[in-house]
């Protein structure tokens, strides 16, 4: 059983709020660190206003609340991992936090050197370098983002054939009250979580299969005009990097497998695209 009793969530968005709510439902101490005091936290969760770029201030909060686990749900953004996440993990180090979960929540980042995934990888390597125990979660894409794949013509853009498998996982399966993250943090011992990368997958599909599920077709393109990030991700999807089990260093599916982490939650039903999007 988990020895973690106190949690701090950084960020109150799509992943942060449901994780905080889910943990609070397990009768553990949960705070949300936010620069703004206007957010309404879930029931049982305390909102702590703090400048998350101020390492000393964050350290004081973590010590005051005797935080065991820090969960960052803040995206690295435009490559500024040193501005967005470094102050918080430095504070976690000083406050002797037992586990730090970086804001990856997506496709694997190891081996990437450019773009958003390169920034996430640089930060993950920094966490390892300073010796803070970490847990990384790779879930592929969010199913809830699938409708936004559509272009103005209603078709799904694809760079290449669109036949390479992609891992997709629903947000509630990752971060909800009965989500994977809450489950492992409140049921597993630290020895099964520290310095590990857990790969989960709700559904494994190709872009062609996604198009069929959304009752449309693919639009084969070389790039998506005005959408550099989508173009960047479509290129990654085409060569296999959209799988949560992808090994970017060796450019192949890794030995752990895309759904290897699913085994830590026996009996759980992972939502399909149809179920998550009510198709």
Q: What pLDDT, on a 0 to 100 scale, did the predictor assign at position 79?
A: 53
Q: What are phi and psi of 101, to 5 degrees?
A: -115, 105
Task: Choose among 190, 235, 198: nearest CA to 99.
Answer: 190
Asked if 204 and 50 touch (Cβ cutoff 8 Å), the reply is no
d(CA 109, CA 128): 14
Q: What pLDDT, on a 0 to 100 scale, did the predictor assign at position 80?
A: 58
User: Residues near 93 by Cβ (< 8 Å), separated by ≥ 6?
Assistant: 130, 131, 132
d(CA 279, CA 269): 18
Asked if 209 and 279 touch (Cβ cutoff 8 Å), the reply is no
Q: What pLDDT, on a 0 to 100 scale, did the predictor assign at position 11?
A: 86
What is the model's pTM? 0.95
User: Residues near 102 by Cβ (< 8 Å), separated by ≥ 6?
Assistant: 72, 85, 89, 120, 123, 124, 127, 134, 136
Task: Choose among 181, 145, 213, 215: nearest CA to 70.
Answer: 181
State the burial class of residue 254 (Cβ atoms within 10 Å of its Cβ: 0-12, 13-18, 19+).
buried
**Side-chain half-sphere of 79: how many Cα atoms within 13 Å?**
6
Residue pLDDT tens, the chain, 279 long: 678 999 999 988 889 999 999 999 999 999 999 987 767 899 999 999 999 999 999 999 999 999 999 999 987 655 555 667 899 999 999 999 999 999 999 999 999 998 889 989 999 999 999 999 999 999 999 999 999 989 999 999 999 999 999 999 999 999 988 899 999 999 999 999 999 999 999 999 999 999 999 999 999 999 999 999 899 999 999 999 999 999 999 999 999 999 999 999 999 999 999 999 999
Q: What pLDDT, on a 0 to 100 scale, did the predictor assign at position 82?
A: 63
User: Residues near 28 by Cβ (< 8 Å), separated by ≥ 6?
Assistant: 4, 5, 6, 7, 186
Task: Choose among 88, 102, 95: nearest CA to 50.
Answer: 88
Radius of gyration of the chain measured on its C-alpha atoms: 19
Asked if 211 and 155 touch (Cβ cutoff 8 Å), the reply is yes
Q: What pLDDT, on a 0 to 100 scale, did the predictor assign at position 177?
A: 87
Q: What length is written for the chain?
A: 279
Under CATH, which architecture does the 6-141+169-202+245-269 domain have? 3-Layer(aba) Sandwich (3.40)
Task: Choose among 12, 267, 234: nearest CA to 141.
Answer: 234
Q: What pLDDT, on a 0 to 100 scale, did the predictor assign at position 76?
A: 60
């Amino acid at each position: 059983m988990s020895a973690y009793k106190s949690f701090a969530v950084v960020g109150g968005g799509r992943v942060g709020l449901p994780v905080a709510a889910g943990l609070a439902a397990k009768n553990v101490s949960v705070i949300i660190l936010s620069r703004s005091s206007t957010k309404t936290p879930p029931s049982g969760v305390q909102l702590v206003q703090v400048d998350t770029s101020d390492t000393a201030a964050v350290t004081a909060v973590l010590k005051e609340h005797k935080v065991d686990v820090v969960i960052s749900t803040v995206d690295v953004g435009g490559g500024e991992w040193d501005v967005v996440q470094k102050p918080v993990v430095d504070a976690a180090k000083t406050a002797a936090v037992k586990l730090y979960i970086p804001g990856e929540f997506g496709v694997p980042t190891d081996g990437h050197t450019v773009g958003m995934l390169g920034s996430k990888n640089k930060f993950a390597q920094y966490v390892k370098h300073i010796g803070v125990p970490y847990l990384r979660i790779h879930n592929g894409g969010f199913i809830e983002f699938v409708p936004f794949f559509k272009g103005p013509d209603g078709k799904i853009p694809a760079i290449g054939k669109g036949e390479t498998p992609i891992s997709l996982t629903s947000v509630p399966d990752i971060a909800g009250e009965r989500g994977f993250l809450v489950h492992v943090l409140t049921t597993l011992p630290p020895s099964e979580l520290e310095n590990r990368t857990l790969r989960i997958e709700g559904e494994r599909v190709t872009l062609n299969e996604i198009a069929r599920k959304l009752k449309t077709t693919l639009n084969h393109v070389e790039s998506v005009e005005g959408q550099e990030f989508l173009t960047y991700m479509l290129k990654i999807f085409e060569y296999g990097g959209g799988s949560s089990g992808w090994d970017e260093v060796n450019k192949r599916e890794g030995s752990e497998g895309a759904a290897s982490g699913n085994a830590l939650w026996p009996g759980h039903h992972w939502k399909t695209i149809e179920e998550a999007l009510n198709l």
